Amino acid sequence: MAADQWLNLQRKVKEFECPLTCPLCQFRFTYLDYFQAAQTCPRCKAPVGFPFYYRLILSIAGLLVGGWTMYKGYQNLGTGWLLPGLLVALLFATFAKQVILRFFPPKLEAHAEGSIWLKLK
C-alpha cells in the first residue's frame, strides 16, 4: 500500500515538474530543457513549438495585464507614473505569462524546418 502511494506521489511530482510533452515521441521535459535544446525535443531533436492560439493568448494576457497596471498606476500616482510604470507593467506582464505557462501548459506542435514541411513521423 505504501509503495503504491509513493509511486503515485512520484508520478504527480514528475507531471508538475515536466509540463511539456513531445507530440512525436511522448517524452516529457521542462521549459529549461526546451529552451536549451533550441526549441526542439531534447530526445528526438524534432522542432516543436507552441500553437498559434496559445501564443495569441499569451500576448493578449500580457497586453491586458500591462495596460491594467499602467491604468491603475496612473489613477493612483498621476503623470509621474508614466515612465517608471512601463517597467512595472513589463514585469507584471511577464509574471502573468509565467503563471499561465505554469498552470496551463501548452500542447506542443511539430513545426517545419526551413521552408518545407518534413514528414516527421
Counted domains in the chain:
2
Domain span at residue 31 reads: 1-49+108-121
Tens digits of per-residue pLDDT, 56-83?
999 999 999 999 999 999 888 887 888 8
Whether pLDDT at 7 is above 70: no
pTM of the predicted model as reported, rounded to 2 decimal places: 0.72
Handedness of CA 111, 112, 114, 120 (dihedral sign): positive
Are 67 and 83 contained in the same domain?
yes
Are 3 and 35 contained in the same domain?
yes
d(CA 112, CA 118) in angstroms, rounded, equals: 6
Angle, to 10 degrees, between the axis of helix 82-103 and the axis of helix 52-77?
Answer: 140
What confidence tier does 111 reach under pLDDT thresholds 50, 70, 90? confident
Q: Which residue has the higher pLDDT, 14 or 89?
A: 89
Environment class of 105 (CB within 10 Å of its CB; exposed 0-12, middle 13-18, buried 19+):
middle
Average pLDDT over residues 5-30: 74
Are 58 and 43 contained in the same domain?
no
Are 10 and 42 contained in the same domain?
yes
Which segments of 30-115 are extended strands (E)? 48-49, 109-110
Amino acid at 22: C
Are 101 and 68 contained in the same domain?
yes
Are 97 and 81 contained in the same domain?
yes
Are 59 and 97 contained in the same domain?
yes
Are 66 and 32 contained in the same domain?
no
d(CA 94, CA 88) in angstroms, rounded, equals: 10
Are 96 and 118 contained in the same domain?
no
